[in-house]
Amino acid sequence: MKNNRIRNIKKKLLSDNWYTLNKFSFEYQKDDGSWEEQHREAYDRGNGAAILLYNKKKGTVILTRQFRMPTYVNGNEDGMMIEVCAGLLDGDKPEDCIRKETEEETGYKIDNVEKVIETYMSPGSVTEILYLFIGAYEDQMKIGEGGGAEDETENIEVLEYPIEKALQMIVTGEIKDAKTILLLQYAEIHNLVGN
């Protein structure tokens, strides 16, 4: 760690039930040179990868819909979220992870993926780095039903939308997932999909 304004870091495990929640106590040097003690909690669930599958010829994208408990308890009436395909790295390289997740969740076997963004999605509380990819798909690449891995209780629905409809769903609030919004806007800015 290379920040000279941080010292005396102490870590206390608060929970390791699903993932890991730690409390960090440390001293931070303010602009006036004085040191103040600070405390922060950080949730570590590992790093992840996500991908927007697009078909330029058809002008479509592949998205997924699944239940997300954290959104349900925070005002999302049915808890369902429309998202790009995503998953945790679990020790894999981001490119390998997203190919595997794509096949499990959507049923498409994708070889060529391109990393376009690397981001911290919630840097105030979550350690996760999310690697965002794009990948072209064609109908003949569909080798399975998708829906997620049986042992992961995902129950994923695979959706195919025209890019214009997906972008409109951001405006209407039907799509509220940040990684999905980023990748759809990336596709629009770079004219990946459509005529």
Q: What is the pTM of this model?
A: 0.91
Tokens of 36: 């103040």
48-189 has which fold? Answer: Nucleoside Triphosphate Pyrophosphohydrolase (3.90.79)
Give the residue extent of every domain in the chain.
6-44, 48-189
Query: Residue-wise pLDDT tens for the chain (195 aa)?
Result: 689 999 999 999 999 998 999 999 999 999 999 999 999 999 999 999 999 999 999 999 999 999 999 999 999 999 999 999 999 999 999 999 999 999 999 999 999 999 999 999 999 999 999 999 999 999 999 998 888 766 666 789 999 999 999 999 999 999 999 999 999 999 999 998 865
136-167 burial string, b = 16+ CB within 10 Å, else e? Answer: bbeeebbeeebbbeeeeebebebbebebeebb
Residue 40 identity: R
